[in-house]
Amino acid sequence: MPEPAPAPETPQFETAEYQGVTTPDWCRTCKQTVVGTYYRVKGEMACASCAEVAKGKAPAGSHGAFARAVVFGGFAAVAGLVLYAAVAIITGWMIGYVSLAVGFIIGKAMMMGSRGLGGRRYQITALALTYAAVSLAAIPIALSDYIGNDTSPQSAQVQQQASPESAPAADQGEQQMTLAKATGSLLLFGLASPFLSLADPVHGFIGLIILFVGLQIAWKITAGSEVPEVEGPYNV
């Protein structure tokens, strides 16, 4: 029975090796182990070659980073709009605390898209996206109210008669015009909705303040800096 003898030694050796691999001396950019000297790029450990890349390519690479931040922020804005509208429709809350979450997820998504780069144009974009998401959420909320209040069989009949299949061709162009006009008015109504809600001064004012705080959250998250700060070299 020679097997049990090496057994205690093997795990010890593996443990030692495992501990060696998990030391924090690895480049956060290329994931490789850092030997000798290291740098810090925005506070994160980086190897010499990644630090060089970060130093040299930052201004050139920042355009792609901004484009990615806008795309990520756009998706987050759509998600925020859906979240805001869903919470309002389901809970019937009149005060938009969800504005805070919308500002947060848009800011975070943009920073994820830019991989940590920020700056004034990121902040302005984050403000616009947060405002658009929160204000346009008023459209599905208003439509849900409208559908909820108008479920009579007569209105269903009218809708059936007005369906595109049964409409003569001449009316279709007119319908498209009406649809475009209706969409335009809906967008205007949505964008103005945070201020229209001042018709109910108390709720409207509180809603505006919360929206303002949500905008501030998005603004702060995307502050960052255009160029990553590279520090070092340090010894491991």
- A 10 A CB-CB count for 224 gives 20
Shortest Cβ distance from residue 30 to Zn ion (Å)? Answer: 3
Choice between 47 and 65, CB closer to Zn ion: 47
Choice between 41 and 111, CB closer to Zn ion: 41
Cα 63-68-70 angle, rounded to 5 deg: 95
Q: What is the per-residue DSSP string for 84-122?
A: HHHHHHHH--SS-THHHHHHHHHHHHHHHHHTT---HHH
Q: Is 41 in the site for Zn ion (CB under 5 A)?
A: no
- A 10 A CB-CB count for 43 gives 11
With contact defined as beta carbons under 8 Å apart, do 61 and 114 qualify? no
Choice between 42 and 121, CB closer to Zn ion: 42
Q: For residues 124 and 84, what is the distance between their CA atoms, to the nearest angstrom?
A: 21
In the stretch 159-198, what mask flags binding to Zn ion with x, by CB under 5 A? ----------------------------------------
Q: Is 47 in the site for Zn ion (CB under 5 A)?
A: yes
Shortest Cβ distance from residue 27 to Zn ion (Å)? Answer: 3
Site for Zn ion in 81-120 (CB under 5 A): none
**Residue 226 neighbours by CB under 8 Å, 6+ apart:** 58, 59, 62, 117, 118, 119
Choice between 15 and 32, CB closer to Zn ion: 32
User: Is residue 66 exposed (0-12), middle (13-18) or buried (19+ Cβ within 10 Å)?
Assistant: buried
Choice between 52 and 174, CB closer to Zn ion: 52
Binder of Zn ion out of 41, 45, 50, 132 (CB under 5 A): 50
Stretch near Zn ion under the rule CB under 5 A, chosen from 50-58, 62-70, 127-135, 193-201: 50-58
Site for Zn ion in 10-39 (CB under 5 A): 27, 29-30
Contact residues for Zn ion, defined by CB under 5 A: 27, 29-30, 47, 50
